[in-house]
């Protein structure tokens, strides 16, 4: 069975500091992995996705994530946090059963301190 674990429901960083949001997955087959961002009272916006091509994936707004099979991880990073990055971030894995359904992590709320 596939699953996603996001460590840390809340993360606080100072403006300009490195952002690191953790995501570990469990899958018996090569997964498709996604990071989405949600601003208050809005839907989810795709940040980036891993679909078995390059292991280092660059997304929008300066975010990137690295797929590490040996660590079953897909952590999201950004070198320098902006105040506008404050939001909820969700990691998701796409089920490989052909249903195209996602399993979402529980989310990490990022707070950026001035």
Partner 1 sequence: GAVVSQHPSRVICKSGTSVKIECRSLDFQATTMFWYRQFPKKSLMLMATSNEGSKATYEQGVEKDKFLINHASLTLSTLTVTSAHPEDSSFYICSARDPTGADTQYFGPGTRLTVL
Residues forming contacts to partner 1 in the complex (CB under 8 A) are 32, 34, 36, 41-46, 49, 51, 90, 94, 99-102, 104-107, 109
Q: Closer to partner 1 by CB, 72 or 109: give it.
A: 109
- Cα–Cα distance measured from residue 109 to residue 38, given in angstroms and rounded to the nearest whole number: 9
β-pair partners for 33: 50, 93
To partner 1, the closest distance from the beta carbon of 39 in angstroms equals: 10
To partner 1, the closest distance from the beta carbon of 16 in angstroms equals: 27
- Cα–Cα distance measured from residue 18 to residue 6, given in angstroms and rounded to the nearest whole number: 18
- Cα–Cα distance measured from residue 90 to residue 106, given in angstroms and rounded to the nearest whole number: 7
User: Which residues, including other chains, have CB under 8 Å from residue 57's CB and lie 6 or more apart?
Assistant: 48, 49, 50, 64, 65, 66, 67
To partner 1, the closest distance from the beta carbon of 36 in angstroms equals: 7
């Amino acid at each position: 069975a596939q699953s996603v674990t996001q460590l840390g429901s809340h993360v606080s960083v100072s403006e300009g500091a490195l952002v690191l949001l953790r995501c570990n997955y469990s899958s018996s087959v090569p997964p498709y992995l996604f990071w989405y961002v949600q601003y208050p009272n809005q839907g989810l916006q795709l940040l980036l996705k891993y679909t078995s091509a390059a292991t280092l994936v660059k997304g929008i707004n300066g975010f990137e994530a690295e797929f590490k099979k040996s660590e079953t991880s897909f952590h999201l990073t950004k070198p320098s946090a902006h105040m506008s990055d404050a939001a909820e971030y969700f990691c998701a894995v796409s089920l490989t059963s052909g249903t195209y359904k996602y399993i979402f992590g529980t989310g990490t709320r990022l707070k950026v301190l001035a």
